[in-house]
Structures are given as structure tokens and as C-alpha cells.
Chains A and B, each alone.
Chain A
């Protein structure tokens, strides 16, 4: 089954602190992409970070980084120095066929000042 699972419906973090959002997935493929998307109250889905499975190095984009464990099929997102603007719903996703992203259930992140 081509599933993506986010086991944390909600997370909270203090401003300037670090938070990690979890994601696991199922696949029999060896080469694939993984994404984290952010959906703020404005509703537009914004790409946060991308990981290519064949790359050993974990992807990093400014304050956002991933911990990609290919054997464990785990793909977590770490947000460092959290800001109020990071508050949003975060989705882990994987392309599973033409034009189709399979998404996790989402994690609502609250940032406390």
C-alpha cells in the first residue's frame, strides 16, 4: 500500500525553540521523492522541503531540515528557531503515480510567543 502516516495530529512549540514533526511511509521503490508541505490559514499549500531518496544527505532549507531514515521509511521535519509565522498545518507527501501526491493526515503546529 502506498501510505503516508503522520502520527501527531497536533504539536506545539515555544517561539525560538525547536520542534520535530514525524512521518512514516510505505513503498517498495528504491528511488522516490518525499516532501513536506505547509498549509497556513490562507489555505495555499507551500512546499517547505524536498528529499530525494537516493541522496544520503539530509535536505536542509534555512531553519528547516529533515531526518531521512530510508531503511526505517521515516521522514521527519525539524524546525529550528520556531517563528510565529511557522504556525500552520504540515503535510508529509510522496508522489505515488502520475500527478498524484499521497499525503499524510497532517499535523497542526501551534507556535506560542
Chain B
């Protein structure tokens, strides 16, 4: 069974631009979550999508948005990029459902650098 796939692996963008990251979950998994990882703030939860609906979100500004497609693939978009958005963005998938106590499987991440 293929794992969680994130594309692209690396991105360099200029301040003010926007960026879209993609995540394909494990086959059969319906929940996709996104995290931002930085040396200063550690791992912070951005949002979670389940069955094409945002079910949970963290404390990030509206510049951070996402969506999920009918095949459970998810995209995350960051508009008007700031230098502070430079980070490793991780995607995780779980089977989803009403149970929160499930194992999450992570992709290799997208390293975003804003210059």
C-alpha cells in the first residue's frame, strides 16, 4: 500500500506570492491533516479535512486555506506569503470517522522557503 505522498518536496517563493501544496493520503484514508513545523514553534496544527469538509482548524490566519477532493486528496494554499511562512509543511492521513484516537501516517513534507 502506498504511503502518504506530498508534492512538491521543495519550493522557493517570493514574498507576496501564493503557493499550493498537495497531499495524497493512504488509500482508504478519508482524513487529511496539515501541520507547520518550524524550529521556533515546533509542530503546529493547521487544519483537518474529512469527506471534503474542514472539520477542525488551528490558530492560523485566513491566508492559510485548504480543500479536499472526492478522492480524499488535499491541497493547502497560502496566499500573500510572508518570510515567516518558511517552514516544513507536513500532511498526515488517518482513516477518519468519529474516533479521534487513531494512528496518523505522515508524508515526507514540503519544505517552503520564502525569500
Contacts and interface: CB of A to CB of B under 8 A. Distances in A.
A100 B43 contact: no
Interface in B44-88: 45, 47-50, 55-56, 58, 88
Contacts of B49: 99
A99 B46 CA distance: 10
Interface string B3-43: 00000000000000000000000000001110100000011
* Chain A contact surface mostly: strand
Contacts of A106: 42-43
Interface in A68-113: 91, 95-103, 105-106
Contact of A101 (B32, B45, B88, B111): B45
Contact of B90 (A31, A45, A50, A97): A45
B103 A100 contact: no
Given A43-B88, A99-B33, A50 B103 contact: yes
Interface residues of B, number: 30
Contact of B104 (A43, A96, A101): A101
Contacts of A33: 101-102
What DSSP secondary structure best describes chain B's contact surface? strand
A47 interface: yes
A30 interface: no
Contacts of A98: 31, 48, 50, 55-56, 100
Contact of B100 (A43, A50, A96): A96
Nearest to B43: A103
B108 interface: yes
B45 A47 contact: no
Nearest to B31: A99
A44 interface: yes
10 contacts: A32-B101, A45-B90, A95-B102, A95-B104, A98-B56, A99-B31, A99-B32, A101-B35, A101-B43, A106-B42
Interface of A: 31-33, 35, 37, 42-47, 50, 52, 91, 95-103, 105-106
